[in-house]
Every structure is written in structure tokens, then in C-alpha cells.
Amino acid sequence: MNIVWFCSYIIFVVLTYVVAKQNNCSEAESDLMKYIKWQMEISNGGRNRPSPQICQCKPKDSLKARPAFFAFVKANSISFTGNDIMKFDDVRTNIGNHYNPTTGHFTAPKPGLYEISCLLYGYSTSRVTFQINKNNQILAFGYTPGREWNSNTISLLMELKKGDKVYVKHRLPQRRETIQGSQHSYFSGRLLQ
């Protein structure tokens, strides 16, 4: 057995172990391990030529089972006032379709720990006062000062129950403020666990 073949074998074994752990498969069930054993058998003279088998195990947590969304404000600029809820209508990611661009609400489909983020970019010299709400409860305040093109980012970790709604709302009802759109202002969230 030469050293290159031996090193390749060790690398494949380690990768197989990692892949098997990620997919919650045992080493014996791993497709990669079965393929390696099959290749080794062929390279040893082709005795007992087994055919590779397919692993039937499934990952416990697939991407589709984890809700996530990411949306920008589509227009170049948009004004909001009163108790307006900001609608991020340029949806780029919406796994599970739990973000509604018509209402601006993200509705938690299941209980868990979520990461929610928002960046609002003040248009020109407009200051922007906003808040992130869970249902009717204020979770965080945001503010961009009225100077040249300022932004504010809020990132939160929050426990949500099934049916909880999270959204971005204008904070000072008496003011009319303008945010920069066109991929400058966004709202996003994802289930962590």
C-alpha cells in the first residue's frame, strides 16, 4: 500500500465521519463510506464486487423546516408617518412563506429562538424613528439622526411562540419621515432553534 493511497483513505474516512454526523447517520450507513469500501474492494482485485448502497437516513433538520425571510424596501424612497407598519416588499428569501410583504408581518410558524434584524437608512437628511414589535409589545427602538444618509441596524434574539407576529413600526406618530429603499433598508429573520 503506498503512502498516497493511505493518506487518501484516511481523508475519506474523516470526511465520511463528518458527513455521517451531519446527517445523523451511523458510519456504516453513510453513502460515502459504502462507496469507499466498494472502491477498495475493486482496487484489491475486484473480488466479491459489491454494489454501492444508498443511505436511507434523513437529516433531522433540513433547511425547509427552518423558516427564514429577507426583504428590502423596493421603491427608491418611501415615507411613513403615524403608526405605519413598514412593508418590505422586495422579498428575496421567504422559506416557509411566513413573511407577508402586504402586511409587513413575520408570523412565527412554530415556537423557538429567532434572530430578527432590521436596517433602516434615512433618505438624505431625513431622520427615522422606528421600533420592532412582537405582537403589540415594543421590543427595541431604532433611530437614524437627520444628517446625511445615516442608518441604524437592530439585531435581536427573541423567543417566539407559534402565531407571534414581528414587524417594524414607525415610532413618532406626529412626524413624517423618509427612508432610502432600493436595497438599502431591509428586514430579516430566521429560526435558530
Closest CA relative to residue 40, chosen from 18, 12, 74: 12
pLDDT of 192 > 70? The answer is yes
pLDDT of 63 > 90? The answer is no
Whether the model pTM is above 0.85 = no
Strand order in the sheet with 105-107: 99-100, 105-107, 165-170, 128-134, 137-144
DSSP string covering 52-79: P-------SS-GGGS-EEEEE--SSEEE
Query: Averaged over 35-62, what is the pLDDT?
Result: 54
β-sheet bridge partners, residue 85: 169
Q: Which amino acid is at 153?
A: T
Q: Are 15 and 35 in contact (CB under 8 A)?
A: no
pLDDT band at 6 (very low <50, low <70, confident <90, very high): low
More confident residue, 44 or 192: 192
Query: Averaged over 17-30, what is the pLDDT?
Result: 52
| pLDDT tens-place string over residues 116-130 | 999 999 888 888 989
pLDDT of 36 > 80? The answer is no
- Residue 130's pLDDT is 93
Alpha carbon distance, N-terminus to C-terminus of the chain: 46
Which strand (E) or helix (H) includes residue 155? strand 151-160
pLDDT of 134 > 70? The answer is yes
- Residue 28's pLDDT is 45
Q: Are 106 and 71 in contact (CB under 8 A)?
A: no
CA distance 164 to 84: 19
DSSP string covering 80-121: EETTPBP---EEEEEETS-EETTTTEEE-SS-EEEEEEEEEE
More confident residue, 101 or 82: 101
- Residue 27's pLDDT is 45
Query: Averaged over 107-123, what is the pLDDT?
Result: 94
Query: Averaged over 137-160, what is the pLDDT?
Result: 90
